[in-house]
Amino acid sequence: MDLGKNSSRSEFKIIKSFSIEIVNKTYEHLKIEQKIYRLWEKSGFFNPDKLPNSRKRKPFCIIMPPPNANAPLHIGHGVFVALEDLMIRYQRMKGKRALWLPGTDHAGFETQVVFEKEMEKQGKSVLEMNREEFYKAVWDYTQKNKKIVKNQLKLLGASCDWSREKFTLDKDIQKIVYETLKKLWQDGLLYRGKRIVNYCPKHKTAFSELEVKYKEEKGILYFVRYKIKEQKNKWITVATTRPETIPGDSAIAVNPKDKRYQKFVGKVVIEPITKREIPVIADKEVDINFGTGALKITPAHDALDFEIGQRHKLEIRETLNFDGYFNELAGPFAGLNVFEARKKSTQILQANGSLEKEKKEYIHQVSHCYKCNSIIEPMLMDQWFVAMTKPILGKNKSLRDLAVEAVENKKIRIIPSRFEKVFFHWLDNIKDWNISRQIRWGIPIPGYHCQHCQKFFIETEKIPKRCIYCQSKNIQKDTDVLDTWFSSGQWPFATLMSFKGPRSKDFKTFYPTEVMETGWDILFFWVARMIIFGIYCTGKIPFKVVYLHGLVRDKDRQKMSKSKGNVIDPLAVVETYGADALRMALIIGNTAGNDIVISEDKIRGYRNFANKIWNASRFVSMNLKDFDGQKPLLSPKDKKILNGLRKTEKKVTKYLDNYQFSLAGESLYHYFWHIFADQIIEEMKKRIKADEDKKQAQYILYIILGDCLKMLHPFMPFVTEAVWQKLPQYTPKKNQKNNLLIVSPWP
């Protein structure tokens, strides 16, 4: 805190602008925090354009990971608020033109499921609503939740520029999303094709590979004999966990290098359920070491089988309907669900002598819907895909290559760095991305199907009247909506590009953004896609640093869940202990990429720290009534005390600049409580009573408290601002209007 070396008292004035006195011994957060937030909002300084000397400041921008607009915040949201608000407040105090742009996500599938459950509780059925009625109802539902989420973020102290708030379904955001879709189409990277997709029979929609949850389960491996036509007592045995799909078989495949089966290639075998004749083929993708080395090929219900079927031009038999029940092509299984058909298949195979043996308790990975836990069925569907490894038109790079090069060339830094290997591994094994969702809530895909020439095309700017290929008027609009991750993958540039008028320069000013802070669990869902789309659409990286926080766990390191009864409601915590206590508890002990342990005892401990700050400040304030703000002649011992403060300031600044937030918080906690409160204040209590030492003691207390409040402010903004407002400020008259800790210069 620079008071000026040669300043006279006539140039300064003590400013008092806050109505709360530091009288009570207990920090009463319920009486203070909302008043403080209103003070900040009234100042307008959350808006970077209104900061003092705004245009001269270097920009710093964080785009908020948009919470889903379908439910209140949970403790995980508290983590990103604590960390991102810390960063934005710190950079604002360092003189940056700091923008924290808030927003919420329409969260297509997630929100539709939540809304449908809500309707069920009310005894209502969404099936009675047409598409327009359903969309309107969900829109109203999300708008109410948006307001709830916004108020909760404010209670946590989020210093966002609310005047720039965005929603992923805002018309200007959708316009940019459509522009990206059209660009992909024109570059040959968007296509409509019939492919095997991950399908949830309960929710009746497809998912991308990332949205499938794989669980290790005990199953049965069935060894089934396929008799070779016109050869008595000759057969090929295959191993399968899904005998109910046998009526969908189109071939038996073996590896061409497998000497056991070379003599059978080209032969015909009898499929043992419907007794159809199918060929034996050779394909290099067959794993010699799995099961018997022979593989039943069911092109309509397995991704690898589909690829093999395409190469060998095999028949595609779609025996399972989208409702999860088998059709007439399944023969004796028609009308049965998967589990019923599996049971009946074993009975038939045993009866006709085709079931050679069973391997009980066979451990294998089974794919499930991440939302309802239903078993995912591989289904053949016409869907829109983004080609991830195909070269971009006119370039020798693919979308995947854009992300790989950005991280490899250190244009984007991932913290912690160990996640780079995970990032590259996922990109190395990436598949084309299915962006179609068979739901009613979200951004409609502007796709059209010509009923005459059977071709698909994209039209984003207007509703077409004719097919772009054959000019037929007989065209049909696609009913699918875009995968939410497709639109949110464009969030950093779409938000900044969407503004008009004076803010039309936001993209140029704040892009690329500085940091993307989010959970490590959505590194692929979201972060990688933001990198891909950011570079593809703008030619620039979307952010310079990716900071990944961990998942929140309880004191026993158990993942929080409602079923376990260990979920912490962040708003209940704020009401009981205050936002500062929760924020500090979520920051200290939280290192990048590692899970966060939180408990009520830990939060209570930082509530006690807030009280310590309050009471130490109360003592200092009570003893500054006759202090004039002038720097007295200091003894070597006093200089040593202040030197200790400077060392702490340098250490904390270094930690914050290196994204070591926990270490910065721990250092401040230790210095304030154990050095300032326990040692320095105790010593100054004696000196302040002695006339010859009083000015020096007052000066030391004033300087240390002021600088500590500044350093603690990004961590615990409410209590520090409340104290700052009652601390005498010896400020030049021209700066009096900016008497807020939120815009005070960093020590």
Encoding tokens for residue 155?
């209670």
Nearest to 105 by CA among 375, 591, 443, 456: 443
**Longest CA–CA separation in the chain, Å:** 115
CB atoms under 10 Å from CB of 660, counted, come to 17
Whether residue 1 is predicted with pLDDT greater than 50 in this model: the reply is no
pLDDT tens for 574-587 read 999 999 999 999 99
What would the mean pLDDT of 163-186 be, rounded to a whole number?
97
Whether residue 736 is predicted with pLDDT greater than 70 in this model: the reply is no
Range among 7-16, 21-30, 536-545, 592-601 with highest mean pLDDT value: 536-545
Q: Which residues contact 322 (CB under 8 A, 6 or more apart)?
A: 199, 201, 204, 379
Contact 101, 84 (CB under 8 A): no
Confidence of residue 567 (pLDDT cuts 50, 70, 90): low
CA distance 103 to 121: 28
3-class secondary structure, 369: strand
Whether residue 568 is predicted with pLDDT greater than 90 in this model: the reply is no
Residue 561 backbone zone (phi > 0: left; psi -120 to 50: alpha; other: beta): beta
Confidence of residue 6 (pLDDT cuts 50, 70, 90): very low
Number of residues assigned to the chain: 747
What would the mean pLDDT of 27-35 be, rounded to a whole number?
95
The string of DSSP letters for 391-441 reads PPTTSS--HHHHHHHHHHTTSSEEESTTHHHHHHHHHHT---EE-EE-SSS
CA distance 60 to 418: 26
Whether residue 9 is predicted with pLDDT greater than 60 in this model: the reply is no
3-class secondary structure, 616: helix
Q: Rounded to the nearest 5°, which phi and psi values hold at 378?
A: -70, 120
What would the mean pLDDT of 171-197 be, rounded to a whole number?
96
pLDDT at res. 45: 97
Encoding tokens for residue 546?
């990716």
For 296, 562, 584, 683, the CA distances from 325, given in Å and listed in that order, are 21, 33, 53, 80
What would the mean pLDDT of 338-363 be, rounded to a whole number?
95
Domain boundaries, the chain: 9-21+599-743, 49-187+388-442+480-549, 205-378
Contact 452, 472 (CB under 8 A): yes
Encoding tokens for residue 21?
């006195």
Distance of CA 740 to the CA centre of its chain: 32
293-302, 560-569, 572-581, 631-640: which range is least confident on average?
A: 560-569
Whether residue 371 is predicted with pLDDT greater than 70 in this model: the reply is yes
What would the mean pLDDT of 148-168 be, rounded to a whole number?
97
- Bigger pLDDT: 729 vs 12: 729
Whether residue 13 is predicted with pLDDT greater than 50 in this model: the reply is no
Nearest to 585 by CA among 593, 594, 574: 574
Indicate the pairing of strand 543-549 with strand 513-519.
parallel
pLDDT tens for 243-287 read 999 999 999 999 999 999 999 999 999 999 999 999 999 999 999
Indicate the pairing of strand 268-270 with strand 212-228.
antiparallel
For 537, 568, 571, 582, 607, the CA distances from 574, given in Å and listed in that order, are 41, 11, 5, 7, 10
What's the number of CA atoms in the CB half-sphere (13 Å) around residue 389?
A: 7
Amino acid at 241: T
End-to-end distance of the chain based on CA atoms, in angstroms? Answer: 6
Contact 272, 374 (CB under 8 A): no
What is the percent of the chain where pLDDT is above 90? 83
pLDDT at res. 691: 80
Contact 713, 1 (CB under 8 A): no
Whether residue 562 is predicted with pLDDT greater than 70 in this model: the reply is no
CATH class of 49-187+388-442+480-549: alpha beta
13-22, 351-360, 399-408: which range is least confident on average?
A: 13-22
Confidence of residue 17 (pLDDT cuts 50, 70, 90): very low
Whether residue 53 is predicted with pLDDT greater than 50 in this model: the reply is yes
Contact 111, 142 (CB under 8 A): yes
pLDDT tens for 213-237 read 888 889 999 999 999 998 888 999 9
The domain defined by 205-378 carries CATH number 3.90.740.10: yes
pLDDT tens for 673-687 read 999 999 999 999 999
What would the mean pLDDT of 127-140 be, rounded to a whole number?
94
pLDDT tens for 510-551 read 999 999 999 999 999 899 999 999 999 999 999 999 999 998
pLDDT at res. 673: 98
What's the number of CA atoms in the CB half-sphere (13 Å) around residue 700?
A: 29
CA distance 716 to 588: 12
pLDDT at res. 737: 59
99-108, 275-284, 555-564, 621-630: which range is least confident on average?
A: 555-564
Nearest to 619 by CA among 686, 728, 720, 701: 701
pLDDT at res. 19: 52
CA distance 497 to 511: 9
Kindly tell me the burial class for residue 391, based on how many C-beta atoms sit within 10 Å of its own C-beta (0-12, 13-18, 19 or more).
middle
What would the mean pLDDT of 692-712 be, rounded to a whole number?
96
HEC profile for 289-327?
A: CCCCCEEEECCCCCHHHHHHHHHHCCCCCCCECCCCEEC
Confidence of residue 403 (pLDDT cuts 50, 70, 90): very high
pTM summary value:
0.91
Whether residue 392 is predicted with pLDDT greater than 90 in this model: the reply is yes
Q: Which residues contact 637 (CB under 8 A, 6 or more apart)?
A: none
DSSP 9: G
Q: At the fourth CATH level, which superfamily is domain 9-21+599-743?
A: Isoleucyl-tRNA Synthetase; Domain 1 (1.10.730.10)
pLDDT at res. 412: 98
61-65, 253-257, 458-462: which range is least confident on average?
A: 458-462
pLDDT at res. 158: 98
